[in-house]
Amino acid sequence: MRSFQKFDSAAFYAEKVALLSPAIENLMRAGDRYYEAYGFAVDEQKSKNLGIKTREYYQKVIDQNPGLLTAKANMAMTYVNTENPMQGILMLREVIDADPTNELALFNLGILSMRSNQYSKAADRFRQILANNPANTKAKFYLGVSLVELGDKEQASKVLSEVKKEEKDPAIQQAIGELEGRLGN
């Protein structure tokens, strides 16, 4: 539990710096730290409050520099678990319109497609990432998961085998083992 609190503390102090010196770098850092804390929040109210803080700082960044697509993509993800998730999805699409190869937006759209059981769309998003960055093992892993869900055993097995060789994270390795079990490998 204590390790999660460090994200809250980092956000708190980054905010203090941003308030004292509202340079775009400091605002972005505050937004990033709040976004990290938001990602680890388990309590619904805390998550909501951290999402609000995240949006506040990313909006200040976007107001100063609308071209900072990372701020927009991260901000979009804080809307996904609100009463207005489409606002986040539309923001991600705006990022893609501005930069069709934006990995963060493509990845997030892929994950959101998986959440709504749209595995074909998800696979397309992850393939788009891999076309520009074949070394992105996270995208490759989620492509493999999507292919498993689509029933494309041959392609799923091939992709997951590649990830197994490249990725050292034990959690990913365990997940690959479980997915291979589903494939009968």
The percent of residues in the chain predicted with pLDDT above 90, rounded, is 82
Which residues make Cβ contacts (< 8 Å) with residue 101, sequence separation at least 6? 128, 132
What gap in Å lies between CA 52 and CA 67, rounded to an integer?
21
Reported as half-sphere exposure (CB side, CA atoms, 13 A), residue 5 has a value of 2
**In 65-152, alpha helices (H):** 69-79, 85-98, 103-115, 119-132, 137-150
Per-residue pLDDT at 7 exceeds 70:
no
Read off the pLDDT of residues 15-64 as tens digits, 9 standing for 90 and up: 999 999 999 999 999 999 999 999 888 888 999 999 999 999 999 999 99
Checking if the pLDDT of 4 tops 70, the result is: no
In tens, the pLDDT along 91-143 reads 999 999 999 999 999 999 999 999 999 999 999 999 999 999 999 999 999 99
1-99: which CATH number, 1.10.3720.10, 1.25.40.10, 3.30.530.50, 3.30.365.10? 1.25.40.10
pLDDT exceeds cutoff 50 at 167: yes
Residues of the chain with CATH 1.25.40.10: 1-99, 100-185
pLDDT in tens, 10-24: 888 899 999 999 999
